[in-house]
Amino acid sequence: MTVQIKTSHLIERAAKHLRGLEDLARSSPLPPASGEAAAAQAAPVSPATSLVPPRLIEFATLEQAGMIPWGRKRERIAEEFRLVQSQVLRQLDAAAKPGSQSSALTNLVMITSSRPNEGKSFVSLNLAASIAHFGARPVLLVDADAKHTSLSHHLDLMEAPGLLDFGAGLVPRAEEIIVPTRLETLSVLPIGGPGHTRADLAAKVAIATAVERLVRRFAPAVIVLDAPPCLSTSDPSALAPLAGQTVFVVEAERTRRSEVESALDLIAACPAITLLLNKSQLTTHSTFGAYYY
């Protein structure tokens, strides 16, 4: 369930692959950010630079991480994600039209929440998969949350280099660390910083700068960013002016209105914010049922 908002007054309604992406990057090359080339040349040798080809993420791993099995049964939750996907793509297309005054990166969709455990990683994974499956567009799912139980953990990618290594200049080319999935148009960029280096890199790397470089490099793709909760770190606030839109996850019957209001104040710079009510108990009279064909 989503509600497009312009102010916080509608909170009440929310409370009750490496394959393909290299071609995309080459098709729209952008000059490096100021000092980026020099930083890449001066980057120290590290474990992150000794790369092996990224392994393919199988459907079983995606489903264990929480992805809905897009099978023959059109389940209610799958239909609801298709509605969310359609709204996100409409907003993306509208913002990308000539004459748009927004300075945001229209292909960047940030997923966040007020507090941990509200389901934002579940939403990130399934929204990205829905766009890749039904939206006929390449999608890069980026884990920007450095906590130990992040999306990368569920995808068994915690020891893989990723966004933090790219942001620190340890990996000059993001294409080398993007992990393809069995869903052909969906790829994943882990959080990175394998082992004990994660906390150090998370404290040093400017996530907003790293994300901006990444998004501009892969401009033809839809970038779905699993960001940390707003009331846990300052990252969502720094990312808000860059994101073309934000999907803000609210856990039904748990998240307090004051928490939602405080979090929305922090990301108010984002031009379009959608509230998504998660974990709600709805009857079949108010939502989708199941359909077999």
Distance between CA atoms of residues 143 and 124, nearest Å: 9
- Contact, 18 vs 180, CB < 8 A? yes
Residue 48 has pLDDT above 70, yes or no: no
Distance between CA atoms of residues 169 and 105, nearest Å: 22
CB-based contacts of 283, cutoff 8 Å, min separation 6? none
pLDDT of res. 30: 36
Inter-CA distances, 52 with 49, 159, 167, 186, 225, Å = 9, 12, 19, 20, 24
Distance between CA atoms of residues 47 and 16, nearest Å: 48
Distance between CA atoms of residues 162 and 158, nearest Å: 9
Q: In this predicted model, what pLDDT tens digit does every residue of 145-170 receive, in sequence order?
A: 998 889 999 999 999 999 999 999 99
For the chain, list the domains and their CATH numbers.
2-28+51-67+74-95+102-278 (3.40.50.300)
| Residue type present at position 78 | A
CB-based contacts of 89, cutoff 8 Å, min separation 6? 131, 135, 137, 222
Q: In this predicted model, what pLDDT tens digit does every residue of 169-207 receive, in sequence order?
A: 999 899 999 999 999 899 999 999 987 788 889 999 999
State the chain's mean pLDDT as an integer: 81
Q: How confident is the model at residue 107 (pLDDT cuts 50, 70, 90)?
A: very high
pLDDT of res. 27: 47
pLDDT of res. 282: 57
Task: Give me 246's structure tokens.
Answer: 């934000």
Token pair 């079983």 is at which residue?
60
Q: In this predicted model, what pLDDT tens digit does every residue of 225-270 receive, in sequence order?
A: 999 999 999 999 999 999 999 999 999 888 999 999 999 999 999 9
Residue 285 has pLDDT above 80, yes or no: no
- Contact, 181 vs 17, CB < 8 A? yes
Distance between CA atoms of residues 163 and 189, nearest Å: 7
- Contact, 279 vs 147, CB < 8 A? no
Distance between CA atoms of residues 265 and 258, nearest Å: 11
Least confident of 30-44, 52-66, 201-215: 30-44
